[in-house]
Amino acid sequence: MVKRRKIPAMSSRKLIRIVERAGAVFDREGKGDHVIYKRIAGGRLLKAPILQWKSELTPEYCLIVFRQSGLTDEEINDLLD
């Protein structure tokens, strides 16, 4: 079993770039300052709302977005390198 690296705090722009590298694509704008990204993982369509225009998002928030996108610990480690 792969142990997940510690996730750093990051800007919303950086989080969006990481999620896009994982294969997610922009779906639509959500309510307020959220954008919705979608990704197919394991034969399922998964959607994750991401706060937009934030200079710093907490590591906990980033992990929630990664999990909603269906990313495994190994994929998260590869994307954070």
Indicate the SS3 state at residue 25.
strand
Indicate the SS3 state at residue 26.
strand
| pTM of the predicted structure, to 2 decimals | 0.91
Residues 6+ apart with CB under 8 A from 74: 2
pLDDT in tens, the chain (81 residues): 778 889 999 999 999 999 999 999 999 998 889 999 999 999 999 999 999 999 999 999 999 999 999 999 999 999 998
Angle (CA) 9-1-70 rounded to 5° is 55
E-assigned strand segments in the chain: 25-29, 34-41, 44-51
pLDDT of res. 13: 96
Spell out the domains of the chain, with CATH numbers in brackets: 12-80 (3.30.920.30)
